[in-house]
Chains A and B, each alone.
Chain A
Amino acid sequence: MLGNLEISASGLEANRVWMNTIAENIANASTIEKDGQNVPYRRREPIFSVRQSGNARAVQVKAVVEDPSPFRLEHDPGHPLANDQGKVAYPNVLVIQEMVDMMMANRSYEANVTAMEVTKSMFSSALRILA
């Protein structure tokens, strides 16, 4: 029974990492400069994988990787960071998409919280046999 709390806890942790990553993406959605160069922030996302132990399948974040999709180019010749073609590169972050992901991560987090509560109440029921 107590190993079950571990399964839900892994879900909480994985989703927390996900939410932190999303928050970082949103915070840096307009970061286009580093050391005076046009170096846009590159979107990051966690890779979830199963962590199996006996019949229990917990979840873990195997890694947080960078999104390889191309940067967004905007035509802005007057911009100080514009290149020869007058384009400025922006992060490959779509804030709308990040918000949707944030809702998903939050929902999954809450689901694991509820699941943990169910486990705890079952444990109490078991102990009540003795009471």
Chain B
Amino acid sequence: MSGMLGQIFDRGVLAGLERSVNFTVARHQSLLSNVANADTPGYRRTDMDGTEFRRLLDRSYAADSRHESSAFDRANIGAPRLVSGPRGPFRFSAKGRGPLRHDGNDVSVEREMAQLAENAGQYSAYTALLRKGLRQVRAAITGRPEES
């Protein structure tokens, strides 16, 4: 977004939270696929590389403070939305594969459920903080501190 709205929504913590939310949403889909295919012969689990994502996020925060466009912007053409497709830089990493069973499947249902819960917890935290931040922007706009 350009101008005033861009100042509010495309920078700083609001943008960081939105990107983090998008990442957890994309990761959720991978984990669901793993659970559904826990018994499919030859299926290998997929996940998303949180480390790489956070590295880019860190650089994005640094770029914000220098008022530059971030690595995210260059990758995603503008808005702080994670490209959730094959072009995304941290899509479906091959890491974290567990023990391989005789049917060629490497999914551990327990591990997937744990990851699912943790990821969903992060999603809840980020959306709650995003909500808080957006409320604050709304209060600043309307001048009404009691609005929540």
A1 neighbours in B (Cβ, 8 Å): 25
B35 touches A8 (CB 8 A): yes
Q: How many residues of B contact A (CB 8 A)?
A: 35
The smallest C-beta distance from A100 to any residue of chain B, in angstroms, reads 13
Could you say which of B39, B85, B92 contacts A48, with CB atoms under 8 Å apart? Answer: B39
A64 at the interface (CB under 8 A from B): no
Contact A108 B109 (CB under 8 A): yes
Let me know if A99 is at the binding interface, CB within 8 A.
Answer: no
Complex contact B91–A55 (CB within 8 A): yes
A26 within 8 A of B: no
Q: Which of A1, A15, A56, A111 has the most CB of B within 10 A?
A: A111
Task: Say if the beta carbon of B93 comes within 8 Å of chain A.
Answer: no
Interchain CA distance A106-B31 in the complex, whole Å = 19
A sample of 17 cross-chain residue pairs with beta-carbon separation below 8 angstroms, ordered by A number, consists of: A4-B28, A7-B32, A7-B33, A8-B36, A11-B38, A14-B36, A15-B39, A48-B39, A50-B40, A55-B86, A55-B92, A118-B28, A121-B124, A122-B28, A122-B123, A125-B127, A128-B128
A interface list, Cβ under 8 A from B: 1, 3-4, 7-8, 10-11, 14-15, 18, 47-50, 54-59, 104-105, 107-108, 111-112, 114-115, 118-119, 121-122, 125-126, 128-129
What is the interface of chain B, defined by CB distance below 8 A to chain A? 25-26, 28-33, 35-41, 43, 46, 84-86, 91-92, 109, 112-113, 116-117, 120, 123-124, 127-128, 130-131, 134
Complex A-B, nearest 9 residue pairs according to Cβ-Cβ distance, in ascending order: A11-B36, A57-B33, A48-B40, A7-B32, A59-B36, A129-B131, A125-B127, A118-B120, A115-B35
Q: A47-B41, A121-B120, A129-B130 are in contact. List 4 more A-B contacts (CB 8 A).
A: A11-B35, A56-B33, A111-B109, A129-B134
